[in-house]
Amino acid sequence: MNTQFQKQPDYKQQQGVQSFYEPTLQLLNEVLAVKKENLKRRGYNQDNAAVTKEELAQRMAYRFRITIWLAQQVILSLIKADQVVTFGGYVKPKESEVNP
């Protein structure tokens, strides 16, 4: 499937990647809520919660039944579209995206 997806015209590939934006942001919010709960239980600041790009890609691949390569492309596209905040190997939804 990777080769088929990579050989698509640019606009089709971009549409395919962007079609995962909304479900990915929902998944990111779900994972972030679990991370915040873990920090709260241990008595740490919940604002420090973040999700690694790799963990998000693996969860996307499992939930959406896509390849890791496509999941990483979606994450990179979200970063370029300024939909998420990134620092190092971690991502976080923008503040306006946390409480829709």
Distance CA 29, CA 97 (A): 8
Distance CA 89, CA 72 (A): 12
Distance CA 64, CA 62 (A): 6
H or E element in which residue 44 lies: none
Average pLDDT in the 21-39 region?
94
Distance CA 100, CA 41 (A): 24
Enter the tokens of residue 74.
Answer: 């979606």
Cβ atoms of residues 29 and 37 within 8 Å? no
Q: Which of 93, 5, 9, 83 is nearest to 49 (CA)?
A: 93
Average pLDDT in the 27-55 region?
95
Angle subtended at Cα 87 by Cα 84 and Cα 91, rounded to the nearest 5 degrees: 40
* pTM over the 0.85 mark: no
Instruction: Place 60 in a pLDDT band, splitting at 50, 70 and 90.
Output: very high
The residue type at 23: P
